[in-house]
Amino acid sequence: MGFQYQAPADRQIYGFHFRVPAPKDMGLEIVVPGGDAVFVRRHPDSEIVDGQMPKRQALLGRFGISTPWPTPEEEETKYWGVARSENVVGNKLFGKLWERGQHCIVPIESFNKTASNGRWPVKMQVSAIKDAILGAAGFYSEVKLRNGNTLYRFALLTIDADGYTTMHKFNRDDGENRMPLLLPKSKYDAWLDVPTERSMDFIEKCPTVDLRAVSIAKARATQRL
C-alpha cells in the first residue's frame, strides 16, 4: 500500500493554517497512493502587491506518480507517492517533474509508521506536538486532458528519519527509516518559492519539527471519548 497519511477534514483549517480557501472537493481523509487529496501551491496568477507575498492555492490532486507513463485517459493502477530527497535529481520516475520546480505543500494531520512491541508490530500515528497540522514538502505535475480539465498529481519528499528522536522506535523498511520532509510553518513560502537549483540546499538546512507518536488504537480510543 505504501505511505499512508491522514488529511485534514476541517475546511477551516486551510484558512487558519495555510491562509488559503479549501477546494470544493476535499478528497480522502485517509490517503494512500492513487487516492485524491488536497495540496497547496503558489497561485500561478498571483503577483506581489503592496509588499505582500503572492497568494497560495489549494487544489485537489492525485497522490502519487504512475509508471509506465500512461496517457491521462488511460487507467493508472500503481502509484509512487514518495520520492527520496537524496536521489530525486535524475530519478527515472521523478526527475523530470523535479526539474520543473513545481513545489507544493501537502497538509497532513498525521502519518502512519510501524514499531515493534515484543513479538507483535504496532501501528503508530505520528503527529506534531505544537501544531495540529503538518505541512510536508512535495512537488506536483499538471496535465491537460482532452476534455479540457486538468489532472494534478503530487508526491512527497522523504528524508532519513534518524535525526528525529521520536522516529528511532520505528521499524526500518529495506534497512532505512524514512519520513516526510516536514516544514515549519515559517518556511512554507520559502519552499514554494525556492528555485530548483537551490532546493537541495533548502532541504539540508530545513529545521526539524517536534513530533509525537501514539498507537493508532490509542488514538482512536481517545477520539471516541
Classify each residue of 151-172 as buried b or exposed e, where b means 16 or more C-beta atoms within 10 Å of its C-beta. Answer: ebbbbbbbbebeebebbeebee
Q: In what helix (H) or strand (E) does residue 221 lie, and over which residues does it extend? A: helix 216-224
Determine how β-strand 150-160 pairs with β-strand 178-180. Answer: antiparallel
pLDDT digits (tens, 9 = 90+) for 24-41: 899 999 999 999 999 999
Distances (CA, A) of 25 to 84, 90, 126, 154, 160: 29, 34, 25, 16, 33
Q: Please state the pTM of the whole predicted model.
A: 0.85
Q: In what helix (H) or strand (E) does residue 202 lie, and over which residues does it extend? A: helix 199-205
**How far apart, in whole angstroms, are the C-alpha atoms of residue 190 and residue 81?**
23
pLDDT digits (tens, 9 = 90+) for 48-63: 555 565 589 999 999 9
**Cis peptide bond prior to 68, omega within 30° of 0:** yes
Tell me the CATH number of domain 5-112+131-209, given options 3.90.1300.10, 3.30.300.20, 3.30.1460.30, 3.90.1680.10: 3.90.1680.10
Q: Which of 206, 166, 165 is nearest to 183 (CA)?
A: 206
pLDDT digits (tens, 9 = 90+) for 123-166: 888 888 876 789 999 999 988 878 888 889 999 999 988 777 77
Q: Which of 173, 174, 171, 186 is nearest to 135 (CA)?
A: 186
Q: How confident is the model at residue 217 (pLDDT cuts 50, 70, 90)?
A: low
pLDDT digits (tens, 9 = 90+) for 71-90: 555 455 678 899 999 989 98
